[in-house]
Structure 1
Amino acid sequence: MNRIDEGLDFIPVRIAVLTVSDTRGLEDDRSGATLVERIQSAGHIVADRAIVTDDRGKIADRLRKWCADRDIDVIISTGGTGLTGRDVTVEAHRDVYEKEIEAFSTVFTMVSMQKIGTSAVQSRATGGVANGTYLFALPGSTGACKDAWDEILKLQLDYRHRPCNFVEIFPRLDEHKRRK
């Protein structure tokens, strides 16, 4: 089902990585570092990287700032997607979304089920679109970040992926905002 059309040129995407944590800094942010390494290895550009605390308003503010930046195409956050009281990343993402990509959660759960079985029900990974920017909220575990990137995002963020991908519809994400 998934295939790369080698006859097409690869188009690098500019991706910002946001780690949501009350305890991590850049020096010990393994999940953020894993995403950065995979993004760059795939040929994409890390446009920015930041860490914010588990605060819904701060997370949403950072997402909005990056969505307004024309040099950022995609935002991937890691952390804060669980069930505890401090896990507010999903709510912050939804505060920003214009449209939610419901199938992202479903596909992520399917991938997770293969790796961690029924423990996958504890993740609330989500995806959406705002201001012509894709946003994805991943769990804080390094394994979950690897799974989401390797099994979903690496393919969907590759213009050559067939039968379809996120990159080819970039120009139409904000068509509703243009004057007719």
Structure 2
Amino acid sequence: MAGLDESRPFIPVRIAVLTVSDSRDLAQDRSGQILADRLQAAGHSLADRRIIPDEREEIAAQLRAWIADPGVDAVISTGGTGLTGRDVTIEAHRDVYEKEITAFSVAFTVISMEKIGTSAIQSRATAGVAGGTYLFALPGSPGACKDAWDGILARQLDYRHMPCNFVEIMPRLDEKLRRK
């Protein structure tokens, strides 16, 4: 049965938040703020927070910098997941993924369908792993960020969530790098 096992300790995750936008600054970044607030309220650490423009190479470079940073366990980006010509966040994420977590987009779509119906098909939300770091790409709307955090990430980034969660396998994400 899915749920929290209170006998297990909470393990805080160090999470960086990236907002992809050509027009927002920190004062206007509602989606990034929602993610920062929710992750900290859950007991996790906000490792870093940035806003960068919708430029594939800049997004990928920032993701790579956080992947290389031992103080970052996971990255959540918001924005640039749609279908327009400027929406390149998904491509930037896939440029750095070692493995894609394909079920993330499915789960996100199911949650979104309950809220916004068939409009959910316009999101390309995705997740993956690179260098032992989890990478999540969410739409730029505050509602989508709430849905993804509340419906997926709050549970999967909590070591107490059973029957399984992302945190318990975190030490093994980069095991291929340790093999000889």
TM-score, scaled relative to structure 2: 0.99
Q: Could you say which residue in structure 1 is the equivalent of 2:105? A: 105
Structure 2, unaligned runs of 5 or more:
none
Counterpart amino acid of 2:146? K
**Within the alignment, does 1:12 sit opposite 2:12 as a pair?**
yes
List per-residue Cα deviations over 1:19-78 (Å, max 9, x = no partner): 000000001100000000000000000000000000000000000000000000000000
Q: CA RMSD in A?
A: 0.6
Which of structure 1's runs of 4+ aligned residues deviate more than 2 A?
Answer: none
**Residue 103 of structure 1, CA deviation:** 0.3
Q: C-alpha offsets along residues 133-166 of structure 1, whole Å, 9 cap, x if unaligned?
A: 0000000000000000000000000000000000
SS in 2 for 1:47: strand
CA distance in 2 between counterparts of 1:121 and 1:147 reads: 15
Give the structure 1 partner of residue 56 of structure 2: 56
1:24 is paired with a residue of what secondary structure?
A: coil
Query: Following the alignment from structure 1 to structure 2, what is the Cα–Cα distance between the partners of residues 11 and 93?
Result: 26
Question: 1:157 maps to what in 2?
Answer: 157
Q: CA deviation at 1:113?
A: 0.4
Partner in structure 2 of residue 80 of structure 1: 80
Identity of aligned residues (%): 72
Aligned residues: 180
In the alignment, the residues of structure 2 paired with residue 23 and residue 136 of structure 1 have an alpha-carbon distance, to the nearest angstrom, of 21
Structure 1, unmatched stretches of 5+, are none
Shift of residue 177, structure 1, vs aligned partner:
0.8
